[in-house]
């Protein structure tokens, strides 16, 4: 492998890591905002809307958790 290819691959991995950090932060901020919105709906006595938002949030978080655990298992199995 040439040095230029190695440097390019290293930079690419660093950029992908940065994108991963941004995506994790985005998911965390989205979940936090949704939790505050659910609390606000409960405070306004809109329990049905709060339950609907909670249900949608749980579905999306469970899909993200499943994909993360699948990726993590695949990463630990590969040498």
Q: Is this prediction's pTM over 0.95?
A: no
Residue % of the chain over a pLDDT of 70: 65
Q: Which two tokens stand for residue 56?
A: 């949608």
Its sign, for the CA torsion 12, 60, 71, 25, is positive
Span 37-53, pLDDT tens digits? 888 988 999 989 888 88
Q: Taking a C-beta distance cutoff of 8 angstroms, is the pair 39, 48 a contact?
A: no
């Amino acid at each position: 492998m040439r040095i230029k290819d190695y440097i390019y691959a290293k930079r690419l991995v660093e950029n992908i890591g940065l994108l991963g950090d941004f995506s994790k932060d985005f998911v965390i901020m989205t979940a936090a905002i949704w939790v505050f919105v659910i609390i606000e709906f409960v405070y306004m006595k809109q329990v049905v809307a709060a339950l609907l938002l909670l249900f949608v949030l749980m579905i999306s978080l469970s899909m993200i958790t499943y994909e993360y655990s699948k990726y993590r298992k695949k990463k630990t199995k590969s040498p």
